[in-house]
Amino acid sequence: MLKRILVTGGCGFIGSNLIRHLLATDRELQIINVDKLTYAGNPENLADVENDSRYAFLRGDIADSAFVESVLATSSIDAVINLAAESHVDRSILDSGPFIQTNIVGTQTLLDAARRHGIERYVQVSTDEVYGSLGDAGFFTEETPLAPNSPYSASKASADLLVRAYCHTFGFPGIVTRCSNNYGPYQFPEKIIPLFIANALADQPLPVYGKGENIRDWIHVLDHCRGIEAALRNGTPGEIYNFGGCCELRNIDLTLTLLKSLGKPDSLIRYVADRPGHDLRYAIDCTKAEKELDWSPEVDFATGLGETIDWYRQHEGWVSRIRSGEYARYYEQQYGRRLA
């Protein structure tokens, strides 16, 4: 029985939603959240649970072996869910160093400490980007060869392979999950949906790469959280599980949908130079997760997107506080103009 779970990167988008989900669905569970609080780690994301006696926060770096050792040595942890990661392709193109340090060295540090302390379960939360790019047809399965095309996805693929190696070499109880593009509340506004919502609400341009032909499969973050929990509780050590939303959209179609939903004109669209090595299409086959974990996506995209838009409308202060700091400087560097 898993009672004490270490979640790394829990102040980020997916991590904060996962912690909230786990606390709501298991009253016996205790969670320790470790986060370095880099630019996308925001303690405000968990303000509603910070006084819950079942929740504790520790600020620290998963690549710091002494820190990780101290946490596992004193906390009686049963399981680890690793979401700590540098996670934006554009940032990895500008500087891959932090991605190597956190995503690879950090994972290796966690794995070594988890082995020493006999952790019962370890879930490595990864991405469909490790598979590379699809053409017009086909889907990523767990058997698709890894072909990462950005420094970010290469660092995540490296971490996945470390988990695989530890499972094979040491009999380590590791599981890897790979998911398509997430959306929902608390997502840092460098990602397309929250960025475009915030920009549109402020009547600022929406920068679309190339012609907007790139296709992504969209999954609501709570569906992803349910998948992670299912893998944690019912997954087979050494296995990989893919989670997707069965909702493929071209970036331009997503952009037009957002503008229509917000009552904003298409003239806000600004086509910008395409990202180097931009993958054309991602699409996930979830058959294995459906059969082995009894999981499937539940949130309809139209409903989920509407609720997400409403959340950002109601939390403009949260967005404003983020956009006035670290991200504002990055955005200005990347796009040559200031945020609203």
Looking at the chain, the whole-number percentage of residues with pLDDT higher than 70 is 95
What is the sign of the dihedral through the CA atoms of 18, 19, 21 and 25?
Answer: positive
104: number of CA atoms within 13 Å, CB side?
14
Residues of the chain predicted below pLDDT 70: 325-340
Q: Tell me which residue has tokens 């893998």.
A: 231
Q: How far apart are the first and last CA of the chain?
A: 49
Give pLDDT, residue 333: 59
Give pLDDT, residue 340: 47
What's the residue count for the chain? Answer: 340
Give pLDDT, residue 56: 97
Give pLDDT, residue 324: 72
Cβ atoms of residues 40 and 188 within 8 Å: yes
pTM of the model: 0.93
Phi-psi region of 159 (alpha: psi -120 to 50; beta: other; left: phi over 0): alpha
Domains belonging to the chain, first-starting first, are 4-183+216-243 (3.40.50.720)
- Integer Cα distance of 58 and 56 in angstroms: 7
Q: Give the number of other CB atoms < 10 A from CB of residue 293.
A: 23
Burial class (CB in 10 A: 0-12, 13-18, 19+), 277: middle
Residues labelled as active-site residues: 128-129, 152
Token duo for residue 291? 């059969």
5-34 burial string, b = 16+ CB within 10 Å, else e? bbbbbbbbbbbbbbbbbbbeebeebbbbbb
Q: pLDDT tens digits, residue range 59-111?
A: 999 999 999 999 999 999 999 999 999 988 888 999 999 999 999 999 999 99
Q: Give the number of other CB atoms < 10 A from CB of residue 286.
A: 25
DSSP-derived letter for residue 140 is B
